Structure formats: structure tokens, C-alpha cells
Structure 1
């Protein structure tokens, strides 16, 4: 048994357990005797003192009842006296059954005798004429009061007897506690010294081979694979040394066989990276460049030999991109994209990919710059085309709507029902086309940066009220319950009131399109940190999960879906998104089919109150 490390440690452990048991037994015995002393101190004498104090209170109450009997209400006083008499005897019995001190029984007997005389004299007082107050008072002072004061003195003496006994027991308990403490401290000190000596002897014997083993492992960690551990014992440490030497030998063989393969793979990887046409950078965890290709050298006007091991900002002077890299690394995302980074006259999408090691820690960061200049130019040409077409459509559409309106109002002649039906259809389609043109113009202004915003502190309650008022009639006609629950005391938001009115109007109008009679539309707001979250919630048809993110895209329409149909131009929510993001907020949707939708967006809060 003693040849194994487990056996040796078990012997030391057993000795220490015995020491702990000895200390525990001695401590237990001392605590037992101490607890017995404390129990006597806390229970018996305290019980007697409590009974005496309560008898004192009842006696005083009876004395007050006697004075009340003489001067005031005789019936109430007699009733009170009898009640106090019953309580007094209850506590007297408690004390009589708890006699623990010398002479305490004599005091109890004297109290009983004096109390009987006291109650007897009170009975005589009750028989005196009610009008003879002087006679009753004289009798009280001569007979009752001396008895009362005598009982008080006896009770106080009894209380003092128990208090003195309690203090004496306290002194004895304190002395016992000190003696117990000294005994336990002495035994504990002796056990600690003995245990320390034992552990010191065995620890040195056990740890010397371990320290040698740890030293050898550290040298192997540094790459010195020529280590040989010579621990010649029959326990587990000796076996571990043998296995460790075998492992080192196999590691050395493996390293020699794998080193060439690793070098080949590294060279192959470098060749692939260098041949990629898109600019590419690799940073380490300290944001220093460790690899770049020729396209990156050309883009940033740097040479690899001057950029390697230099901080990213020393070679690529783009603080905004660095902040994005830093944010992505801190957020622990595996991949992210920074849109429309511009260098010179070219635009790039930068894909940032953190590379994790075997510990799941970020060791490197890969940056790939995708040239999107051509797509950017095409997108700009598209926006310019839409802007021109929208403005060109606006004038003739206005003329069509005015002309249709005049004909419908029969200002230029009477029309029949068939003609009216056709003209109404023309007017409705013209309104839809006008809505599309207006939204196109608004979206083009926002995307081009030409849209001007009048930011100021404004009341979200006021904006919501002004938006909802014109829509109440439409909601009532459909049988939809439209409610604004925003509190008038909500903080102000920093926003353009006109643009946010447009946003709310669009969201509420959309809700009306997808709700039926009996449904509800609720506008609410809540504070979320430095932002206000505004919600337009309905109990209408709902939106399928696969469309919730796409509905904010321009011209989005559902293809071949019999259960769900996008009603409108497909531009309104795209404009909503652009306006909210221009305010520094965000917009999103939560929805379930046949349950309803909840469109939410955030706006920054002002310090002022509306």
C-alpha cells in the first residue's frame, strides 16, 4: 500500500483526520457544558423575571381600577379589577411553578398572603356607600395602599433575586466560555503544529519529483524535445515519468515527419492568397498586419515589407473602418460587412471575418475588399432614372386627376352610370399612381441626401394625435378600433415632426389595409434607455415569417402566394426605413399569421420635456 502515491497521501490524510477528530471531540464536550450553563441562565431566571414584571403591571392596573371605583365608574372599575385579578393569578402560578433560587419560595408565599389581604380589603371597599368618597379614600390610604406597596416591594425583591442569580450565572458562563476557549485553542494549536510538521515532511518527499517533472514539461513546451526524465520510484510518479519519456520520443518523431508537410501547406496557402484579385489583409489579435496580397498593396499604396508587423492604422489610414473591425471583434460575430467604403473614386464592400484558434479565441482577422464601383454606378443611374421619370409623371397625373374630378362632378356636362363607373376606376388608379410617384420622389430625395430634415425636440404624443385624427373616420367605416395610448407626459424625441408624421401615417394606413371589422390597431410608446420605442400594433391578417425582413425592401411584392398579398406600391416601408435610420433609429416588424403585426421603430430622446 505504501509504495503507491495514493497510499502515502492516504496515511497523511488519516493522521490529519485523527487530529481533527480529537479537536472536535474536545470542542464538543466543552460546548455541551457551556450550553447547559447558558440554558439555565436564559430560561429559568428570565421566565421568573418576566412573570414578576407582568404581575407588577397587573397590580398597578388594579390599583388604578380602585381609584376609578372611588371617583368615577364603579361598574367598569370592578370589571377591570376582576380581569386583572385573573391575569395576576395566572402569572403568579407561572412563578410558583418555576422556583429555582434559594428563598424564592418564601417570597412567593408572602406575595400570595399579601395579595389575599389586598383583594379582601378591596371587597370591603366595594360595600361602602357610593356617596362616601371621603370615607372610601381614607380606607384606601389606610388599608389598601399599604398592602399594594407591600406587594410591590415583595415583587421587586423577587425580581432582584432572579436578576442577581442571572448575573451570577452569566459570570460563571463567561468563565466557562473562557476556559473552553483556552482549552480548544491549546488543542487546536498543538494539532496545527503537529499537522504542519507531518505535512511538511511528506509534502517535500512528494513534491520534489513533481517539481522536476514540471520543469521538464516546460522545457518540452518551449520545443526542447531532447528531455529525458529520470524519476526512479515505484509509485504513480515513476510510471508517469516513463510514459512522459515515451510521449516525448513519439512527439519528436512526429515533428520530424510533419514539419515538411506544414511548410508545403503554408507555401500553397500563401500562393493562393497572393493570386486573389480582390485586396486582402490578415491582421493578428493586436491589429498588426501579418499578410497582404498584391491587390491590397496597390489599393493602399504600401509595400508588404514595410507593412508587415505594423499596426493597421499605420498602413491603412481609415479610422472608421478600424472602428468597424474593432466593433465586430468585440461583438464576437463570425462575419460581418461594412458597406460602401470609398477609396478615391472606387467603392468597396469590406467583409470582416474573425478567425478563431482551437481555444475558440480570436487569433486573426481576415479583411477582403470587394470592388462594387460598377454596381454603385448602375444603382446611381437607376436612381437618377427613377427620379426623372417620377417628376415627369407628376404633372400629367395631376392633369388627369383634375380632369377626372371635373367630369365626375359634371361641371362640363352630364354623364351616365357606366361612364361614372369608368371615371371612378380611372380616378382610383390615378391616385395609386400618384402615391407611387410621391413615394418614389421621397425615396430618391432621401437616398440622394437631398432631403432636408428639420430636427428639433418634439412631443411624440402630439405627433401621434395629429396623425391619428384624420384616420379615425376611415377606421370607423371599416369597423376597426383605432386607439392612441401614448402618454402625454412621455419625454420629447429629437426628430423631424413632419417626417415622423409621415412614418406613422404610413404604418397606420398599412394596418388599416390588413385589418377587418372588429380588429384593433393600437399606437403606443415606451422608453428604452436613450431611445423612445414607438409601436403600431394590429390584430389583422399578419405577415408570414419569410417576408418579415423583405417587406422593407424597395418594390417588394409576393409572387404566387394565395394566402398573403402585399397591398400598395411596395415603396412605403422602404421610405419608412430610410427616414427612421436618418434619425439614428431602427425599424422592425414582429408578426404571426392570423394573429396580427407589430411594427416598431426607435427615435432618440431629448433632454427637454414636451
Structure 2
């Protein structure tokens, strides 16, 4: 009878160590949860006390554990025999180190990426914020009124670029608008400065809010002196205690007022008024436009005086002529020769006066129209003096005035218009007779030098004040400076004298006479080859 042969292998630590050497892994044999052999140096006793190890063995086919601080990864496989289990453990120290290294590398990578991301974020934020800072600086410059500096923000950020373009467009548009407004303002200022009339605006309380250059020129007040002040304090009426605002005309009407200027002089103003509202919020203001009409008023007064004097100058000789002619018509056959002669003298004097007046009027009109001219020729000055003396003799006889003619031995030969020079002498002799007392002496004197002859008429009248001499030879100015209707003529004689003499290239003037009266003189050019 054959028996059973059993081949057995002892499952001790040596067996486990042999397998460990062949596989490079740690091996442990478990029977019913108890280690019977192991390749671990600690032995089965220590291994069996590893409660955590046993607990994992009961639950899973693989688990991890540590022995003497060394981590292992184990897998157990049930064998054919019940309760017999083989466990294979791998030292995972290097794996843990690698895992830890990977974890550290991962953390470092994450930190590095975060740092790089932060740096890139800062750079990107600066890239975005720098143009925004430039935009803010440009906007601040615009708010300060700097419209010349361009908004130059170069960036690849589309939104920032669009904002910069919009701001630059707004800057250029605003600059063009302000330039246009500046031009219009300058044009308005030049226009106001060129207007000769004065322009003043008043607020609701009558205070001055605008004072043009024309107003400064007319009144003598400077703009800083009057702005904000009541117009009644600046414009004071002459010879009246009434306030200036009381004489301001209604809108669309024209008024006149005599106003004291800054230097104390009095001027006549023509004033017009308009009302306007500068804006919806502002109160309505009053605009006054005034013009200095002092000269016009003076001309009107002089013209009225002139017409009154001309009427008197015409009326007096015409009345004398009418009376004499009427007497001749009624009593001519019964009058003696002496009586006829006595009646003819007023006729002659009246005709002479009318002729002188008409000549002066015609000459003054031609001078004013620019058509005045003289026709000089070579003439003996003595003949001109003789003709003028003969013309004036009846008038001198009437007032018992004595004309003394003083001519040099060599009577000058001049280049002159005889008719015009006779008119000059008639005017001067007529004034000497008019303003001199009866039975007075009138001297007509001629002197000469190498270039010119000087003719003078000396009277015994009241004389001419120094203040009146500057305008004496102008129209409508009277030698005595007074509106004495008994003496005053048309006021044209001396202006005609001046025009005629200057037309010959000569001079005219007046001096005081030593023992009372005045000396009117004029010069005429001599003929060089008269000798």
C-alpha cells in the first residue's frame, strides 16, 4: 500500500527573507490575523503588535503603515488555505520623498505663478493706469484753461484710447470756440473803442456797470473811477440841482443836458436810451449813448447871432436908402444942390455897406465850398491904398474920423489881386471906424523890407484881449468879443481878410497900440525885379 508523500516548506522568517531578497519587497505570512513569519527586522512580535496594521488587514486588500518611522505600502493576498494570507510591503520612503518634493515643487510653482501673475498684473495695471494718469493730468490742465497742450496718451487699451481721442477732440473744439469768441470780443472792443459817442450802462439802482473809451474821452473820467458808482455822482447837471437820472429820456427818444465834466468844464450832451437784459437771470439794464454837441450848440447860437446881425446889417442901410430915395422922389425938384448932396451921402454909404457885406458873404461861401482863389499880378501898392481910402472916405467923414496914410518914399510893388486887397483894406478900415470913437484918428501905414511889404491899420478902439486873439480871424468872431448889436457885424470880415492874405502867401495878425487901440497888419510878397 502506497502512502502519501508530503513536501513541506517551513514558513519562518528565513523563508520570508529569502523571498524578500528575490523580490526586493518585504514579505509577511499571516495566519488568522497573526503574523507567523516576516522579513522585517523587527520581527513578528513587534509586527503583531501593530494594531493599526492588523486593523487595515481586516478591512482592505492594501494599506499603508509605518515601522520604525519607515512608511510602507502593503498588499495582502489570501492563499488557498483558510486563514493563510501573504502580505507584500513596499518601502515607499523614496516615493513619499518624491511626493513631498512634488508637493513642494507644486507649491513653489503655484507661488511662482502667483508672483509672476502679480508682477504681470502690476505691470498691466501700470500700463493701464499710466494713460489714465495722463488723462487725469490733461483733464486738470483743461480745467485750468490750458487749451494749447494736446492730449497725447498713447496706449493699446482701446477704451482708454477712445477716451483720450474724445478729450482731444473736445479740447480742439473748445479752443476753436474760445478763439472765435475771443475774436468776436476783440472786434466788439475795437468797435466800441472806435465809436466817438460815449456808451454807459446802468443797473437797476442807477450805478455804472460799463464805461466806454468814448465816454472816457468825452467826460474826462476814467473807467476805474466810475464803475460801480451812481451816475448822479458822476454826471452832475450844470446850473441845476436836479439829478441826472431825472433828465434821461425814455427809450427811443432823444434828450439834451448840460453836464459838468471831470475838469470842471460844461458840455452839452445829446442822450439816447435803450433797455436790455444781459441774461435771463440778470436784471434789465439801461444803456445810454451820449454825444458832445457843445460845438453844435455853439454853432447854433453863433448862427442865430449871425442871422440877427446880418438882418441888422441889411435892415439899417436899406432903411436909410429907402428914406433917402423916398425923400428924393417927393422933393427932388425943390431941393438945393447942397441938400441933394446931403441925401446922396447916405445912399452912397448904404450902398458901400451893402456891397461890403455881400462881398464878405460871397467870399465866405466860396471859402467854405473850397472854390476861393486869388488872381495876383504886379501892382503898385500905393494905388491899392488910394482906392481903399477913397472908398472909405464918406464913412470917415460921417463920423468925423481922420485917416492918416503913411507911405514910404519908394512905394512897394507887390504881386497881388488888387480887388481882393482893396476888400481887405475896406474891412480893416471899416472895423477901425466902427469900433473907434468919433473924431478919432485912424492910421494906415505901409512899410517894406527886402522880401515883403507890411500894411497896418491902427485904430483907437477898445483893443483886443489876449484870450480873444487866438480865434479872432475865424468866422462869427467879433473884435470886441461882445454881442454888442450896435457894433457887431456879420462876423465874416476878419475871416475873409485872413483867407485873402494867406491866398497871397502873406501873414495877418493884430498887436496892441501903445497909446490905446489895436494895430491890424498883413504882409504881401514884393516883386523881386521891381527896381
Flag the structure with higher helix content.
Answer: 1
Flag the structure with higher strand content.
Answer: 2
Whichever of the two has the greater Rg, that structure is 2
RCO greater where, 1 or 2, for CA within 8 Å and sep 6 or more?
Answer: 1
